[in-house]
Amino acid sequence: MANFQYAVVASILHDERQKRTLLDTFERALEEAGGEMVNLGATLVHPRNTMLPLFIFVLTGGTEAEAMELIARETMLEKGEPVVLLAHPSQNSLPAALEILAKTKQSGGRGLIVQADATGSFGKAIDDIVAVSRSRSEMRTCRIGVVGEPSDWLIASRHDAETVQKAWGVELKAIAFEELLEAIQEIRTRPQEDIELPDMRKDATFYIEANDEDMRKSMEILYALKTIVVRHALHALTLRCFDLVLQDHSTGCLALSALADEGIDAGCEGDIPSILGLHWMRKLTGKAAWMANPSAITVQNESDGAEMLIAHCTAPRSLLSEYGLRSHFESGLGVAVAGIIPEGEVTLVRIGGKNLERVWFSPATVIASPRREGLCRTQAVLKLPADKANELLSDPLGNHLVMVRGDWTQRISLYLRLYKMPQRGRDLFLGVV
């Protein structure tokens, strides 16, 4: 199945046999990368699929006008689609690509050049561009539920539906907290034997403080949230979870963990930027992410980097090497996830700003996963660059951070260049020069 399509532009000064011979050098690599050549006036076989990104393969020089005509015909600039130019080291391909990209930027568009190496391969760069394009499309067709208002203390992390839609293309669906309470109550009025509730204790390494009633309440909340997900056709949700503590003497920690592992990203406290970050990371990387509080940041000096402790009472169990079940930290009620996060590379992300126009992100490494008292139950100690830690302290975008396993900083940077914060100069090339 194709991941992208590409159109070939070539000078009329080259005959068809010459162009075919030259194209054969690269066609297999493009096909292996998931590419499909399209018929845009040439004698090619595949029609244009507007669900897939379109790249322009600059086969030869002298193709600048033809490429700009293609960009105009596909209305790429009007739709805000980046112009991705594939170039190679011969036949004046790169000089033509430089001219095309310069004109694209003069016209208010965004784009980049990906160069093939000596073997004719475009490498990992195409994978990243395809993932970025796909995540952009999927974010613009998703619906995120906000069950209850954002928590009162999130004074910088509450944004209305219009702001979210304009910045990220996401539909925000407001759902009254009472609807959740009603769904929970409806479950409790049924005979117990009529509802098969999962028991998440079987894989836990320990189970303390919480009791059987707490466990059942947690699973009822999960069942009720699943009902709301189906009812409103949600792809993700964020929950004003502390109202469960006050009104039901229960918590949503275990339910949110289970939803994330089932592919429904689930955030805490009604935090809008964090649920956007959780869902964006899944679309960008294919992995579930974790939302947590920065509890301590220590910056020694620039060369030694910084350490940060982050913690929360819920986490997708798929991120954990093991987990136990405890009570919720602040209230001592309900059931929380006390997980161990394996050491290794991670990426930290925070979306923010008045109009959700800003993104902070950083590579980091998990160096420990303690179980300290006086903190939320799942904890991780991270090593990260000192400048990134100082940015958090001097120019924060809000409280919670989103963490995803692996180093995805290049992919995030690419997304921001193509769709949010286009930069010039150093970001011009991807691939082997």
- Same domain for 373 and 311: yes
pLDDT value of position 194: 67
pLDDT value of position 431: 36
Return the SS3 of 111: strand
Q: Which of 122, 148, 167 is the last residue of a domain?
A: 122
The phi, psi pair for 287, rounded to 5°, reads: -120, 150
- Same domain for 178 and 325: yes
Cα 399 to Cα 28, 87, 293, 303, 395, distances in angstroms: 47, 43, 6, 26, 12
- Same domain for 291 and 335: yes
Answer whether residue 134 is part of any domain: no
- Same domain for 283 and 216: yes
Strand partners, 58: 9
Look-up of token digits 């924060």? 396
Structural domain containing residue 35: 4-122
pLDDT value of position 426: 35
- Same domain for 390 and 353: yes
Answer whether residue 207 is part of any domain: yes
- Same domain for 118 and 150: no
**Structural domains of the chain, count:** 2
Computed on alpha carbons and rounded to an integer, the radius of gyration of the chain in Å comes to 25
Answer whether residue 127 is part of any domain: no
Q: Which of 122, 153, 183 is the last residue of a domain?
A: 122
Which CATH number belongs to the domain containing residue 325 in this structure? Answer: 3.20.14
- Same domain for 43 and 167: no
- Same domain for 95 and 235: no
Share of the chain above pLDDT 90, in %: 75
Answer whether residue 266 is part of any domain: yes
Answer whether residue 129 is part of any domain: no
- Same domain for 331 and 359: yes
Query: What is the mean pLDDT of each successive set of 10 residues along the chain, which is 433 residues long?
Result: 90 75 86 83 65 92 95 92 94 95 95 87 88 93 96 93 95 97 92 71 89 90 96 97 90 95 96 98 97 94 90 96 93 92 98 94 97 94 96 95 97 90 37 30
Helix, strand, coil % (nearest 5) of the chain? 35, 25, 40
Burial 55-82 (b: 16+ CB within 10 A, else e): bbbbbbbbbbebbbebbeebebbeeebb
Helix (H) or strand (E) holding 227: helix 212-232
Look-up of token digits 């009025």? 189
pLDDT value of position 378: 96
Half-sphere exposure at residue 155, Cβ-oriented, CA atoms within 13 angstroms: 1
Answer whether residue 429 is part of any domain: no
Q: Which of 73, 97, 122 is the last residue of a domain?
A: 122
Answer whether residue 80 is part of any domain: yes
- Same domain for 289 and 330: yes
Answer whether residue 426 is part of any domain: no
- Same domain for 190 and 99: no
- Same domain for 388 and 281: yes
